[in-house]
Structure 1
């Protein structure tokens, strides 16, 4: 990774719903602003349950509805992520606890670990897992990610 690049890793439990939506939304926003080349953007999971799988079909459908495509395959957070990503943004308190525990054991940790929702102008701190919900729950996640990613990008541009 070039040292001049900024970097962000979006994290949720399985890396098939919330974090791939956040990654795709952020990539689109950065592209629209003409700054995507200045960023390293990725997403990952705290668990290893879905490693290698594409995003949930409902997440992909939601993104397509908003003219966004993703080919991301789920991966688990690695110790190297804490050394290479400037920002690690997660979706809920459970993700945050898991990441902070991992960060405390990672060598050369430089990541600022935080909730993506901490950037929400509507002050909705938690981005709930839509996995057991319906299309409207994926849309809610999408809208939260748009608000949070816009605010995060503005603060870090």
Structure 2
């Protein structure tokens, strides 16, 4: 639950073991480096139940270690409370967006602004592709996209 006067963002993908925990960790490092981490409540979640309770994908963890970014997350599914408490829910692809908008439409007083994280990409790469069936390079691509998008999001939301 977000503290009074703070901003909150929830990053969402299908399973919450690849893209969204990377985005969460990148954004957490960004706000820490900028000295504004006390202003933010940050988490990530899944639209599905597939990976609940699991740690992030080992390839994603390896990629983050390479870039010196701490990653500590256990996969969870998005809840009704998330739609009521988060300012922003940023997801990775159109399928996530459809699922989230459908869930939000069933919740009274849904306050979250639901958007594609890629809508903040200065390089205009709207979709952050799921690297799960891909290679280490695909995780690196996700990391680089998340860095660009999170920096832009932080500027626009400040």
Give the TM bin, normalised by the shorter chain: over 0.9
Question: Equivalent residue for 2:115?
Answer: 114
Q: Is the 8 A contact 1:45 1:77 kept in 2?
A: yes
RMSD: 0.6
Q: Is the 8 A contact 1:12 1:44 kept in 2?
A: yes
Q: 2 CA distance for matches of 1:3 and 1:118?
A: 27
My pick for the range that moved more, 101-110 or 137-146, is 101-110
Q: 2 CA distance for matches of 1:42 and 1:133?
A: 24
Question: Equivalent residue for 1:66?
Answer: 67
- Scaled by the length of structure 2, the TM-score of the pair is 0.98
Report deviation, 1:151: 0.1
Aligned with 1:37: secondary structure? helix
Aligned with 1:11: secondary structure? strand
Q: 2 CA distance for matches of 1:6 and 1:56?
A: 28
Report deviation, 1:22: 0.1
Q: Does residue 42 in structure 1 map to residue 43 in structure 2?
A: yes
Question: Equivalent residue for 1:15?
Answer: 16
Aligned residues: 157
Report deviation, 1:71: 1.5
Question: Equivalent residue for 2:81?
Answer: 80
Q: Is the 8 A contact 1:79 1:107 kept in 2?
A: no
Report deviation, 1:107: 2.4
Question: Equivalent residue for 1:141?
Answer: 142
Q: Structure 1: which 5+ runs fail to align?
A: none
Aligned with 1:41: secondary structure? strand
Q: Which runs of 4+ in 1 moved over 6 A?
A: none
Q: 1 CA distance for matches of 2:107 and 2:82?
A: 9
Aligned with 1:60: secondary structure? helix
Q: 2 CA distance for matches of 1:95 and 1:119?
A: 16
Q: 1 CA distance for matches of 2:4 and 2:125?
A: 33
Question: Equivalent residue for 1:100?
Answer: 101
Q: Does residue 56 in structure 1 map to residue 83 in structure 2?
A: no
Q: Is the 8 A contact 1:5 1:40 kept in 2?
A: yes
Q: 1 CA distance for matches of 2:38 and 2:108?
A: 27
